[in-house]
Structure 1
Amino acid sequence: MDINLTNNHFLSILQLASPSLPVGAYSYSEGLETLVENGTINSQTNLQHWLQSQLRYGAIRVEAAVMLRSHQSVSVGDMEALCRWNLWLSAARETAELRTSSWQMGRSLMQLLGKLDPQIMPIVNIVGNPSNYAIAFGIASAHWQINHTASLLAYLHSWASNLITAGVKLIPLGQTAGQEILLQLQTSFNTAAVEILALTDDHLACCSWGLSLASMQHETQYTRLFRS
């Protein structure tokens, strides 16, 4: 059963999901830059539609589900399962770009966690490098005793916030449009969270070929603002 979300837990999850967290999330667009370049996404409406589709069918669902399994593994002290899920998620990445971004952000978050709370270092050392970002996020949220639902919603919100910020720069859109998208996604966040919490290991799958193709094309895109 999820523990209550105390004030300290709430403040911890705000810090973990903050756009100012120095893990480099702002430097990646997850293929969005390619989709804007080729005209697939060129407005507030279709950016919102893309994000809603990803929450309904995309790889972010698998990522978030593995984050929860990382959380659970740390909570019960199952380090073997934690390492296994890290390897599983690395193998599940469909492009070099998506794998590299997850590893870079995971490494940055692991290093940050070690400095913020040295007591977490034994777990960080067990997982080692490379560590996926979802794994590191799950470790942090479990260590700080943040419940599953709050951790999941924060993870999804942080992911969407980063891509909305990228879209605001690329399309471009105004800041108000970005905030409108984020507000409109609340129902999608809640729906996705319920579904992801119910996923069994055998049902960790997604339909993300559009993201995969965009990511592969972004790796060789001539002019880029975002890292590949």
Structure 2
Amino acid sequence: MNEVAPTTALLKLMTWLSPSFPTGAFAYSHGLESAIQRELITCRSDAEEYLHDLVHTGSLWNDLVLASLSWKAVTQEDNLFLGQLNELALALCPGEERFLETSLQGDAFLKAAKPWGSKKFSLQFDSADLAYPIAVAAIAATNRVPLIVTLAAYQHSFCANLVSVMMRLVPLGQTDGMQILADLEPHLTELSKRAATASLDDLGSATLHGDFLAIAHEHQHTRIFRS
């Protein structure tokens, strides 16, 4: 596959993963709202530790592995495996809100990405829920956006959204928020490289506390975010 020019790839990813793209990512806290309400995150060091766990051993790592394999499935025109990866991505959601978070964003992303050729996947996933990382990877591969930069941009979007949640609810100042994102850069670079060569055997998470907090959010009396 001939990849598009770096500038073209960058522009596409900036559009697809920007707050203005109608995926509604800003409406989800990924369980952070529960953690903050329980005062488990009260300062920058708490926030960095929480994000570090999600990035390295939590839901984000699984998303990256599945996105990487989905990108390859599309480039190899293996629609059967792509569908199986989507089913696995949905099955890995630990609770209803996490399921809705990924499926609603995946569906919204596919619909909004019509100018970039998402129509070819519309029939395949017409009657099925579509996990967000699968949708992003599929469109990136269709548009010949390199795998490594796709994974890096996906991670950055995920982390930037959660930092935004922390800045509003902890609250963290802008200086602390930007420092967290700066400190994450080498981690995101490393994980992009690892995920690009990962297999299904590399799936796995160990952030049970975060999963339980996401489930607890379903029953939270006062909520700002949908998850």
Shift of 1:4: 6.3
Counterpart residue identity of residue 120, structure 2: P
Normalised by the length of structure 2, the TM-score is 0.94
**1:192 equivalent in alignment to 2:191:** yes
Partner of 2:77: 77
Between stretches 156-165 and 70-79, larger displacement belongs to 70-79
Contact persistence 2:65–2:202 (CA under 8 A)? no
Query: Does residue 111 of structure 2 align to residue 111 of structure 1?
Result: yes
Cα deviation, residue 5, structure 1: 4.4
- Please identify, of 50-59 and 98-107, the stretch whose mean Cα deviation from structure 2 is larger: 50-59
The 8 Å contact of residues 65 and 196 in structure 2, kept in 1 or not, is answered as yes
RMSD: 1.5
Query: Which AA in structure 1 matches 2:194?
Result: E
User: How far, CA to CA, are the matches of 1:75 and 1:127 in structure 2?
Assistant: 18
Contact 1:2 1:148 in 2 (8 A): no
Superposed, which structure 2 residues align to 1:5-44 within 5 Å? 5-44=5-44
Aligned residues of 1:57 and 1:206 also touching (Cα < 8 A): yes
Count of residues in Structure 1 that have an aligned counterpart in Structure 2: 226
Distance 2:10 2:194 in 1: 23
Q: Could you tell me how far apart the structure 1 residues matched to 2:186 and 2:8 are? A: 26
SS in 2 for 1:127: coil
The equivalent of 1:166 in structure 2 is 165
Residue type of the alignment partner of 1:193:
S
Deviation, 1:139, is: 1.2
In the TM superposition, what is the alpha-carbon distance from 1:203 to its structure 2 partner? 2.1
Code of the aligned partner of 1:158: S
In the alignment, which residue of structure 1 is the partner of 2:61?
61
TM-superposition CA deviations, 1:160-196 (whole Å, max 9, x none): 0000000101101122221111111111111222222
Match of 2:95 in 1: 95
Is the Cα contact below 8 Å between 2:21 and 2:112 reproduced in 1? Answer: no
**Larger mean Cα displacement after TM superposition, 52-61 or 153-162:** 52-61
CA contact (8 A) 1:82 1:127 kept: no
CA distance in 2 between partners of 1:210 and 1:137 (Å) = 27
Residue 217 of structure 1 is matched in structure 2 by 216
Alpha-carbon distance in 1 for matches of 2:7, 2:191: 25
**Residue 2 of structure 1 contacts residue 149 of structure 1 at CA under 8 Å; is this kept in 2?**
no
Matched to 1:177, the amino acid is D
Following TM superposition, by how much is the alpha carbon of 1:56 offset from its aligned partner in structure 2, in angstroms?
A: 1.4
Runs of 4+ aligned structure 1 residues displaced above 3 Å come to 1-5
| More displaced stretch, 165-174 vs 16-25 | 16-25
Of 122, 125, 141, the match for 1:124: 122
Instruction: For 1:76 and 1:198, locate their aligned partners in 2 and report how far apart those are by CA, in whole Å.
Output: 15
Q: List per-residue Cα deviations over 1:136-175 (Å, max 9, x = no partner).
A: 1011111111111000000100000000000101101122
Residue 180 of structure 1 corresponds to which residue in structure 2? 179
1: CA distance between counterparts of 2:36 and 2:52? 17
Give the gaps of 5 or more residues in structure 2: none
